[in-house]
Homo-oligomer: A and B are copies of this chain.
Amino acid sequence: MNNFSWQCPTKLILGKDTIDQVASEIKALGCSRVLMVYGSGSIKRNGIYDKTAKSLNDAGLYFKELSGVEPNPHYDLVLKGVELVKANDLDFILAVGGGSVIDTAKAISAGALVDSLDTFFEDCFLGGKPVTAVMKKGAILTIPAAGSEMSNSCVITNTKTGFKRGINTFLNYPQFAILDPTACYSLPAYQTACGCADILAHMQERYFSNTTDTYFSDLVLEASMKAIIELGPRCMENPTDYDLRAQIMFIGSMAHNNLLGACRTQDWASHWLEHELSTQYNVAHGAGLAIIFPAWMRYVHKANPRRFIDFFSNSMNLKREAGEDEEAFIERGIKALEAWYQSMGLPIRLTQIGAKDDRDFELMATRALSGNRTKAGNLMKLDHDDLVAIYRLAL
């Protein structure tokens, strides 16, 4: 078991009608001038925008809006948000949406206070220069997936250079996260499915570890992965079941606040591999993970077969048959995981998202290991050729 330090200051507020309290949470933080960040406008159709605006207006809070956040959120919009903050003397960033919106809000909250905005992406996202000051921020979550509402990370894509990179810092935690399960009722099925794949992935990246003597952490991870594996498909069939939506939101936040990974060396190769899929093929992050994870498992499982056997046994309820060897059981497990993704309508091969052959894989592997990176992952440390080989397995 590894030494660790864990702290997650975000106030998690989960329940019916909790959006109404957003203004009181902002005021309790001493803020009054809000940048409200959101996406394509679905929050205007499902009533979330109105609920949020009503709470802010009723409390007399001033707010400006920044809309148009896309999946794999763009750096350009971050810059636009920083301009709005500065031009209007705003003191709080409120994200209303999913991970892309929250990540944009986090990047704005940091970008607004950096000395040199011109080199912000190069310095902090690519170069690893620490962020030292941020604005206060909160989230109203509408898509359980990225876990950004309770995480220290934010991932932004710079479309000019093609890099999708993240900043991890304690300062990234939102002050509060409001999770109203009814906000998910109108989510498209595909987004619900992508969210479940992403939530599972955040736990898999932490679970598949060579750290020993982590029995407690193993059991809790296995239980949490089992929960999303069982509840995800049920939610696909019952999209307006309050308790299913509530539990998936809860798991999503727990999956990525790093409590589950606190005492373990984590992997994250699959996320690095996937980020290049999103950039190259413009696929949703969760769908990209559904493609990458089975291929990654096939490539690396021999580095620690016990972890894979335990995952398939304890989180996916598979029983090893008499005479079935490890290798056969693990392959059966990977197929069951693929079937789980497919049951929710997700792709499991690169050809399903537009790849015709392996022509892009060298470039994608090069990008995945650029900047200050040398190898990917920890369960098995992967170099350039390993990444290409995993992309090939995913074709």
Contacts and interface: CB of A to CB of B under 8 A. Distances in A.
A212 B1 CA distance: 34
Contact of A7 (B2, B11, B213): B11
Interface residues of A, number: 42
Contacts of A14: 3-6, 262-263
Given A7-B12, A11-B5, A227 B219 contact: yes
Interface in A198-230: 212-217, 219-220, 222-224, 226-227, 230
A246 interface: yes
Contacts of A254: 259
Contacts of A227: 215-216, 219-220
A223 B16 CA distance: 28
A32 interface: no
A305 interface: no
Contacts of A220: 220, 223-224, 227
A117 to B, nearest CB: 28
Interface string A364-379: 0000000000000000
Interface string A1-25: 1111111111111111010000000
Contacts of A6: 11-12, 14
A243 interface: yes
Interface in A243-292: 243-244, 246-247, 250-251, 254, 259, 262-263
Given A15-B2, A220-B224, A223-B223, A247 B213 contact: yes
A243 B222 CA distance: 19
A186 to B, nearest CB: 20
Contacts of A216: 224, 227, 231, 247, 250-251
- Chain B CB count within 10 A is highest, among A14, A212, A223, for A223
A33 B323 CA distance: 66
Contacts of A10: 7
A1 B213 contact: no
A5 B1 contact: no
B9 A9 contact: yes
Nearest to A226: B219
Nearest to A176: B7
Given A3-B15, A18-B3, A231 B250 contact: no
Contacts of A243: 1, 212-213
A244 B14 CA distance: 34
Contacts of A4: 12-15
Given A231-B216, A251-B216, A8 B5 contact: no
Contacts of A246: 1, 213, 263
A195 to B, nearest CB: 15
Nearest to A16: B3
Nearest to A219: B223
A240 to B, nearest CB: 14
Interface in A110-166: none
A42 B349 CA distance: 61
A357 B134 CA distance: 64
Contacts of A16: 3
A244 to B, nearest CB: 8
6 contacts: A1-B247, A6-B12, A216-B251, A219-B223, A219-B226, A220-B220
Given A217-B250, A220-B227, 6 more contacts: A7-B9, A7-B10, A8-B8, A215-B231, A219-B227, A220-B224
Closest 10 CB pairs of A and B: A3-B15, A213-B243, A219-B223, A7-B11, A223-B223, A216-B227, A216-B247, A5-B13, A6-B12, A1-B246
